[in-house]
Chain A
Amino acid sequence: MSRLLSGFDSLLRGIGHRLVDQFWRLGSAARFFAYTLIYSGESLRRPNLVIREIYFTGVLSLIIIIVSAFFVGMVLGLQGYNTLQKYGSSEAIGVLVALSLVRELGPVVTALLFAGRAGTAITAQIGLMKATEQLSAMEMMAVSPIARVVAPRFWAGVISMPLLASLFSMIGILGGYLVAVPIIGVDGGAFWSQMQASVDFREDVMNGFIKSCVFGVACAMIALFEGYDAPPTADGVSRATTRTVVNSSLAVLGLDFVMTSFMIS
Chain B
Amino acid sequence: MDRTKIDLWVGIFAALGIAALLGLAMKVGNLTSSNLGETYTVSAYFQNVGGLKPRAPVKSAGVVVGRVDSIQFDSVTYEARVNLKLDKRYPFPKDTFANIYTAGLLGEQYIGLEAGGDEEFLKENDKILQTQDAIVLEKMISQFLYSKASESSESNE
Q: Which residues of A contact B (CB under 8 A)?
A: 48, 51-52, 54-55, 58-59, 62, 98, 102, 160, 162-164, 166-167, 169-171, 173, 192, 195-197, 199-201, 204-205, 209
Which residue of A164, A167, A204 contacts B29 across the interface (Cβ within 8 Å)?
A: A204
**Which of chain B's residues has its CB closest to A58's CB?**
B13
Residues on A with C-beta less than 8 A from B30 are: 196-197, 199, 201
Q: Tell me the number of A-to-B contacts counted with CB atoms below 8 Å.
A: 82
Residues on B with C-beta less than 8 A from A204 are: 29
**Which of chain A's residues has its CB closest to B108's CB?**
A198
Judge whether A163 and B6 touch: CB under 8 Å: no
**Which of chain A's residues has its CB closest to B21's CB?**
A166
Residues on A with C-beta less than 8 A from B33 are: 196
Residues on B with C-beta less than 8 A from A54 are: 10, 13-14
Judge whether A167 and B25 touch: CB under 8 Å: no
Q: Which residues of B contact A (CB under 8 A)?
A: 1, 3, 6-7, 9-10, 12-14, 16-18, 20-21, 23-25, 27-31, 33-35, 55
Task: Tell me the smallest distance from the CB of A265 to a CB of chain B, in Å.
Answer: 13
Residues on A with C-beta less than 8 A from B20 are: 163, 166-167, 169-171
Judge whether A167 and B17 touch: CB under 8 Å: yes
- With A163-B18, A170-B28 given, name 8 new contacts (CB 8 A): A51-B6, A51-B10, A163-B17, A196-B28, A196-B30, A199-B28, A200-B29, A200-B34
Which residue of A160, A170, A196, A209 contacts B23 across the interface (Cβ within 8 Å)?
A: A170
State the CA gap A195–B27 with chains docked (Å): 9
State the CA gap A102–B10 with chains docked (Å): 24
**Which of chain B's residues has its CB closest to A60's CB?**
B9
**Which of chain B's residues has its CB closest to A202's CB?**
B29
Residues on B with C-beta less than 8 A from A51 are: 6-7, 10
**Which of chain B's residues has its CB closest to A159's CB?**
B14
State the CA gap A88–B40 with chains docked (Å): 38
